[in-house]
Amino acid sequence: MESKNVAVLGAGTMGHGIAELAARASWNVVLCDVSAEALERARKAIKESLAATERLGEGGSAAVLERIKCTASIGEAVRSADLVVECLPENLEFKRSIFRMLDETCPPEVILASNTSGLSPTAIAEGLNHPERVVVAHFWNPPQLMPLVEVVPGEKTSPEVVERTMDWVKALGKEPVRMKKECPGFIGNRLQFALLREALHIVEAGYADAEEVDKAMIYGHGRRLCVTGPFLSADMGGLDVFHAISSYLFADLSNASESSRLLQKSVEEGHLGLKSGRGFYDWTPEMKEKIVRLRTETLREFLEKDRKDQQDVDS
């Protein structure tokens, strides 16, 4: 891309995180949201995130903030954009209406990316004049701290758009994962929900409590999977061993095709987790502060390790 201008639509958690990432990478960013309050919260969150990053220093933080402009007008946001990232609610018809507007407003060479966590890019691009420039760039939450970005083409997405999107993600310092074709939930959420389905089944069947399931993951797989994914783990453990275990265990795993009754009951009772103060855990202010801080510190440590590892490779 000759210039470096990006428009981010939606100033929520994902939107302001992506705006921060782009500004850190020296892109000019226009962050758009119809809510002035959302934009103000986003600006505050970005300032706090930058302040927590010691390597930037005070001058660096000011430079990053100067590269982020805010507006309530989509037209103004995309006027000079080389790439647009949509971070709006997960409603297909709403996204379609936004992309129709973008398709009519933006020149054909502008990439239109959606941060959807599972909706079809083909469905989002349906009926557009230029569906070839629509792609998914699914950042993981929190985007400032999670390296993964899933790049997902629709049926009509051009290979050039996929390559340009991959290059942009790399320029942000993130790790893009290219999918050959789309599927519901992409890679990450399919794996995440397969794990959640079995975790719920273990609790519902009375095998163990939720806290014990979490501990098994944190102190077992969680320590290993940050280095070796499922295929590397299987290779290292021996495919003959994994084949033998799967021959009897697969038949006993949950194959539920509907949401868990345990999950449904919690939602019906208004126990939504952190956002409501109660879910599988009681989220006291002290617990919230502890877990959020621990997650942030751990993810920052991993990012710093990634940075040092890359420096070693480059040198």
Kindly give the pairing relationship between strand 134-139 and strand 148-153: antiparallel
- Please check whether residue 48 lies inside any domain of the structure: yes
In the numeric block, which tokens belong to residue 236?
A: 């290292």
**Catalytic site includes residue 221:** no
Catalytic one of 189, 233, 260, 266: 189
Q: How far is CA 188 from the centre of its chain?
A: 9
Candidate list 16, 114, 120, 138, residue with the active-site label = 138
Structure tokens at 205: 């069947």
Q: To 10 degrees, what angle do helices 261-268 and 188-204 make?
A: 90
* DSSP state letter for 151: E
Q: Is the pLDDT of residue 169 over 80?
A: yes
Active site residue 141: no
Same domain, yes or no: 203 and 143: no
Task: Note whether 221 and 161 are same-domain residues.
Answer: no
pLDDT at 284 over 90: yes
pLDDT of residue 55: 57
What are the pLDDT digits (tens) for 134-164? 999 999 999 989 999 999 999 999 999 999 9
9 and 144 assigned to the same domain: yes
- What's the structural domain count of the chain? 2
Structure tokens at 244: 């033998």
Q: Which tokens belong to 151?
A: 């790049």
Report yes or no on 314 lying in a domain.
no
Last residue of a domain, one of 137, 154, 178: 178
Does 126 share its domain with 246?
no
Domain that holds residue 70: 5-178
Residue 91 sits in the same domain as residue 218: no
Residues 149 and 230 in one domain: no
20 with 110, same domain: the answer is yes
Based on the fold, state whether residues 208 and 141 are members of the same structural domain.
no
DSSP state of 2: -
Are 95 and 170 contained in the same domain?
yes
CATH of the domain at 197: 1.10.1040.10
User: Whose CA is closest to 70, among 137, 7, 116?
Assistant: 7
Mean pLDDT for the stretch of residues 242-269: 96
- Single residue among 129, 146, 178 that ends a domain in this structure: 178
Catalytic residue flag (residue 175): no
Which amino acid, residue 281? Answer: Y
What per-residue confidence (pLDDT) applies to 315?
74
pLDDT range class, residue 256, cuts 50, 70, 90? very high
Q: Is the pTM of this model over 0.75?
A: yes
Rounded-to-integer distance, Cα 117 and Cα 121, Å? 11
pLDDT-derived band at 311 (thresholds 50, 70, 90) equals confident
Predicted confidence (pLDDT) per residue in 52-74, tens digit? 775 554 457 889 999 999 999 99
Given 220, 237, 262, the domain boundary residue is 262
Residue 313: C-alpha distances to residues 67, 91, 306, 307, 310 (Å): 30, 42, 11, 10, 5
pLDDT at position 58 is 46
The CATH number linked to 47 is: 3.40.50.720
Could you read off the pLDDT of 196-250 as tens digits, one per residue? 999 999 999 999 999 999 999 999 999 999 899 999 999 999 999 999 999 999 9
What residue has token string 């005070």?
58
| Active-site annotation holder among 117, 120, 130, 182 | 117
pLDDT digits (tens, 9 = 90+) for 17-46: 999 999 999 999 999 999 999 999 999 999
Residue 268 lies in a domain: no
Give the list of residues 6+ apart from residue 122 with CB closer than 8 angstroms, or none.
Answer: 131, 154, 155, 156, 182
Q: Is 189 a catalytic residue?
A: yes
CA 216 to CA 219: how far, in whole Å? 6
- Name which residue leads in pLDDT, 104 or 304: 104
**151 and 170 Cβ atoms separated by less than 8 Å:** no
Query: Residues 6 or more apart from 41 whose CB is under 8 A from it?
Result: 11, 16
Within a domain: residue 15? yes
pLDDT of residue 181: 96
